[in-house]
Structure 1
Amino acid sequence: MPSLVARVSDPGVIREIRDGDEAALIALWHAAGVSRPWNDPQRDIAFARGSPHATILVAQAGDVLVASAMVGEDGHRGWAYYVAVAPERQKTGLGRAIMQAAEIWLLRRGIWKLQLLVRADNAGAVGFYERLGYHDTRTVCLQKVIEPAA
């Protein structure tokens, strides 16, 4: 099976998140437009890092984080979130590389399905994922934010 630490252009590597990456990662998410005001990125990072079923992969070129993917699994399916590439490095293969690293991470855990959510109005992202072999499953995703009882 391929190595999780992959070489990327410029030269760089894809690796799992480390202590001290958080601020640069959040800045990347904002620059790439994948963060939303209702999601607390620090909370999401801490949750992924605290789970044995999730991680955050980052592509680093020199001292700069240039791409990311939060990846997790529920024992049957894998999910990718916060897939981001720095705007000035989009269309260079980094998106493909970070998604391949996410797939490898899941395969090492015996997970062979990877799902992700794309906003309906983001045709560019849909086209990107279709070029990678993903397809619309024609399912509806329902969500409820549950709050602990006070």
Structure 2
Amino acid sequence: MTPTIRPIEDADIPAVIALWHAAGVARPWNDPATDIAFARRGPHGTVLVAEIEGSVAATAMAGEDGHRGWLYYVAVHPTYQGGGLGRVMVEAAEAWLAARGVWKVQLLVRRENDGVLGFYDHLGYRDTNAVCLQRVIAPA
């Protein structure tokens, strides 16, 4: 089964949110619909989906600030995990970023999800020895 990789459409949103929950990347403090809307509201972000036999099987969200790119919500439905679809999604997101002149891609991995570090290491991602700091400035 060869996936079709394409930008998210409005009709995909419920399936994407369900996939994020099934894959364990959704968090109660982040509203997935809001994250999708933010990614789609301008030219600097996208949500890509992999469609297999009419169903959303995987996603990758990408965004850029003119210098660096970021990956978010790289997720594969449990039915398709281990078959290379995660790599396909990362490569598709990297290609989207490269087409916009981005040459460096970064991502964050939550400490409780450190099981995916081997996956990203295999794809060439390395620990930057940086610390991520955050401050909430307004309620979502």
Q: Specify the TM-score bucket, using the shorter chain as the normaliser.
A: over 0.9
* 1:53 matched to 2:44: yes
- Equivalent-residue separation in structure 2 for 1:11 and 1:99 (angstroms): 16
Distance in 1 of aligned mates of 2:23 and 2:113:
13
Identity of aligned residues (%): 62
Superposed CA deviations along residues 54-112 of structure 1, whole A, max 9, x for unmatched, are 00000000111010011000110100111100012111000000000011001000001
Query: Any gaps of 5 or more consecutive residues in structure 2?
Result: none
97, 103, 126: which one aligns with 1:112: 103
5+ residue gaps, structure 1: 1-9
Where 2:112 maps in the other structure, the secondary structure is coil
Give the whole-Å Cα distance in 2 for the aligned partners of 1:146 and 1:48.
Answer: 19
Corresponding residue for residue 85 of structure 2: 94
Secondary structure of the residue that 1:75 maps to in structure 2?
coil
How far apart, CA to CA, are the structure 2 residues paired with 1:77 and 1:100? 16
Deviation at 1:117, TM superposition (A): 0.3
2:31 corresponds to 1:40: yes
Alignment of 1:143 with 2:120, yes or no, is no
> Which residue is 1:15 aligned to?
6
How well do the aligned residues superpose, as a CA RMSD in angstroms?
1.0
How many residues of Structure 1 are paired with residues of Structure 2 in the alignment?
Answer: 139
- Corresponding position of 1:64: 55
| Aligned residue identity for 2:60 | A
Partner of 2:16: 25
Structure 2 equivalent of residue 4 of structure 1? none
Structure 2 CA distance for aligned equivalents of residues 51 and 129 of structure 1: 27
* In structure 2, C-alpha distance between the alignment counterparts of 1:42 and 1:19, rounded to whole Å: 11
Q: How far is the alpha carbon of 1:25 from its aligned partner?
A: 0.4
Q: Report the 3-state secondary structure (helix = DSSP H, G, I; strand = E; otherwise coil) of the residue aligned with 1:122.
A: helix
Give the number of the structure whose residues are more often helix, by fraction: 2
Larger deviation, residues 11-20 vs 63-72: 11-20
Q: Offset of 1:12 from its aligned partner?
A: 2.1
Shift of the alpha carbon at 1:146?
A: 1.0
Tell me which residue corresponds to 1:75.
66
With 102-111 and 112-121 compared, the bigger mean Cα shift is at 112-121
